[in-house]
Amino acid sequence: MLSYFSRRLPILSQSRRMLGSGPIGVSSGASNGRSVTHTVTALKRWSCDDKDLPSVSQIKAIHIYDFDNTLFASPLPNKQIWNSPTIGQLASPDMFINGGWWHDAAILASTGEGVEKEEPRGWEGWWNEQIVSLVELTMQQKDALSVLLTGRSESGFGELIKRIVRSRKLDFHMICLKPAVGPANQKFSSTMAFKQELLKDIVYTYKDADEIRVYEDRVKHTKGFRDFFFAFNKALMSADSPTSRKPITAEVIQVAENATNLDPVSEVAEVQRMINTHNLAVKNGNAPPGVPPYQIKRTVFYTGYMIPPPMTDKLVTLVNLPPNTPEGEVRFLANSILITPKPCPRSILDKVGGIGKKVIWRVTGTSVFENRLWAARVEPVPPTQKYYSENPTPTVVLALRRGAKPADAVRIQNWHPVPDDKAFEFETVVGEKVLLRVEEEQANESEWESFFPNKNHKRMHPREEEYISLNGAGPQSQSWRRKPTSWSRRPERLVPRRQRRERWIFSWRWWRWRKGPWKRPWAVQELGRRWREESWQWVPQL
């Protein structure tokens, strides 16, 4: 659905910094200070498509179309496959030596069933049809310049994007991708810097154009374009403007992102290929110093009897929400029966029949815990069927109010029987809730250790560093251990009596000064008291 958050910008503000230093005019296109003549021939150098451009006098409107997720539904990393940090890493150009998700042409070529199958059918189903219709209208408008604009690299994606566009029989005057160096030897610090430099060159060249429309899906880029045209038009209206170019009516149209995903198997295979290429470069010494090899690891959130989506839709009908419950306050689940949280040990997995084992269940009751957790009690069919669950009662968590946790289901004491028409029977499959992640490759890492991210920072015991042992038993944080000094280890008879007394007084005064009683919790005060009574009782009382 095309959503418009646009405004017309004939008279614009902000600063001139966005357009570079110095006055804006006919010679403002070069970042190295050399004079640049804005001609159709010079503008053609921005396009990777060898096509003659219309004359300056012919163009009255300029239409700019973004490619990724505006015109074409480019695949994004699947949030159902990768954890959040990994999605950010894949999008970064600095993660892998050969670039990331948006810098590898094989990812885009894997869209659908691949180039060989998708090109003959024009990548059917992978287009934003509303934007396609607008492009076709632009093609019919004789006085409009049509430009396809993307921040993907010209060297890596030029031919592929031209094949995709031509398969749908879309015709643009210019197909512009980000070059390594601009026509006037410009260097671009970002995609937005490249796009703004190109837009400035287009508007200066077609000086008779009265309006420009930019279709963009990224909110940040939409704002960047609007701010750019504010500053651009203000500079044109200033008294010291060296060009006769009139301000242009700019309309930046926010397009709803048309997000899609690759086939899960293909996506994991493509990421593994990127990792293999990266690791090979690291192994051969072709990587910068300090760049590590990577591998794909699994994060298992829980193991359970997985409920199919059609049955989930039926189970959530057992939830009776209070009237006037705000929308979004309650999250519906009904997707599994817990076996174990985190990875399931092999011994337990063998008891339940292993991954893929099918078990049939019947709903026997429902309950609501503190008006924030809705659950259904289930039993296997037949009752003699062996199963395992760490919950005292096999339970399906149906819904959670904001702030509630599925673990609260074990606190349910009272269950209400369900009528026969609500005693649903359904089949489940033993499986795991898993997300993949990309991490640095670790030598001698076991399979069990690989399940846990950030093992180096994982606590060995829950909140161990906050546990203070007052009787010498139990775990104790290193920061609470009194490290004996060299003089305290010397036999008492070798330390003069007055020296022992002075050292004890100094130590206690230093403790009081650093950790005054108004700064310490009760446990620390108690620790200090026992420290004095037990550890220092050999000090003579003078």
- Number of Cβ within 10 Å of residue 409's Cβ equals 24
408, HSE (Cβ side, Cα atoms, 13 Å):
17
- C-alpha angle with apex 88: 228 to 302, nearest 5 degrees? 145
Rounded distance between C-alpha atoms, residue 80 and residue 370, angstroms: 31
36 found inside a domain: yes
350 found inside a domain: yes
6 found inside a domain: no
484 found inside a domain: yes
Is there a single domain that holds both residue 314 and residue 368?
yes
**Residue 49 to residues 44, 147, 161, 166: CA-CA distances in angstroms?**
9, 11, 11, 11
DSSP, residue by residue, 10-35: SS--S-GGGG-SS--STT-S-TTS--
Rounded distance between C-alpha atoms, residue 533 and residue 542, angstroms: 16
- Residue 328, C-beta contacts closer than 8 angstroms, at least 6 positions apart: none
- Residue 239, C-beta contacts closer than 8 angstroms, at least 6 positions apart: none
Describe the strand order of the beta sheet including 144-153 as a list of residue ranges.
174-178, 144-153, 61-66, 211-216, 249-254
CATH number of 195's domain: 3.40.50.1000
234 neighbors 272 (Cβ within 8 angstroms):
no
259 found inside a domain: no
H or E segment to which residue 198 belongs: helix 191-205
For 10-19, what is each residue's pLDDT tens digit? 333 333 334 4
Domain hosting residue 483, numbered range: 464-535
Is there a single domain that holds both residue 225 and residue 351?
no
Count of domains observed in the chain: 3
Give the three-state DSSP class for 155: helix
Is there a single domain that holds both residue 235 and residue 123?
yes
Helices 219-237, 191-205: crossing angle, 10 deg rounding: 40
Per-residue pLDDT at 1:
45
Is there a single domain that holds both residue 344 and residue 427?
yes
H or E segment to which residue 119 belongs: none
Longest dimension (CA), the chain: 106
Rounded distance between C-alpha atoms, residue 459 and residue 445, angstroms: 18
Q: Please state whether beta strands 61-66 and 174-178 pair in parallel, antiparallel, or not at all (unpaired).
A: unpaired
Is there a single domain that holds both residue 129 and residue 219?
yes
- Residue 404, C-beta contacts closer than 8 angstroms, at least 6 positions apart: 372, 373
98 found inside a domain: no
**Residue 541 to residues 18, 219, 486, 507: CA-CA distances in angstroms?**
77, 74, 22, 15
Domain boundary among 416, 434, 452: 434
Contacts 24+ apart (CB under 8 A), 320-328: 321/399, 322/371
Per-residue pLDDT at 245:
83
67 neighbors 149 (Cβ within 8 angstroms):
yes
Judge if pTM exceeds 0.75. no
Residue for token pair 């339940």: 352
Domain boundary among 225, 254, 283: 254
165 found inside a domain: yes
Is there a single domain that holds both residue 395 and residue 509?
no
> Residue-wise pLDDT tens for the chain (542 aa)?
444 334 334 333 333 334 443 333 334 444 444 455 788 888 999 998 888 899 999 999 999 999 999 999 999 999 999 988 899 889 888 888 888 899 889 999 999 888 999 999 999 999 999 999 999 999 999 999 999 999 999 988 999 999 999 999 999 999 999 998 888 888 888 899 999 999 999 999 999 999 999 999 999 999 999 999 999 988 888 867 777 788 899 999 999 887 789 999 999 999 999 999 999 999 988 888 888 899 998 888 889 999 999 999 999 999 988 888 888 889 999 999 999 988 888 888 888 889 999 999 999 999 999 889 999 999 999 999 989 998 889 999 999 998 888 888 989 989 999 999 999 999 999 999 989 999 888 777 666 666 667 654 343 333 333 333 333 333 333 333 334 444 444 444 455 555 555 555 555 555 555 555 544 555 555 555 555 554 444 444 33
Is there a single domain that holds both residue 471 and residue 380?
no
Rounded distance between C-alpha atoms, residue 134 and residue 64, angstroms: 11
Calculated CA dihedral for residues 46, 49, 51, 52, nearest 10 degrees:
0
143 is written with which tokens? 């006085």
Per-residue pLDDT at 322:
86
Amino acid, res. 417: P
Is there a single domain that holds both residue 201 and residue 333?
no
Is there a single domain that holds both residue 117 and residue 244?
yes
215 found inside a domain: yes
- Number of Cβ within 10 Å of residue 14's Cβ equals 17
| Neighbour-count burial of 496, counting CB atoms closer than 10 A to its CB (0-12 exposed, 13-18 middle, 19+ buried) | exposed
Is there a single domain that holds both residue 43 and residue 153?
yes
Is there a single domain that holds both residue 249 and residue 192?
yes
Is there a single domain that holds both residue 173 and residue 49?
yes
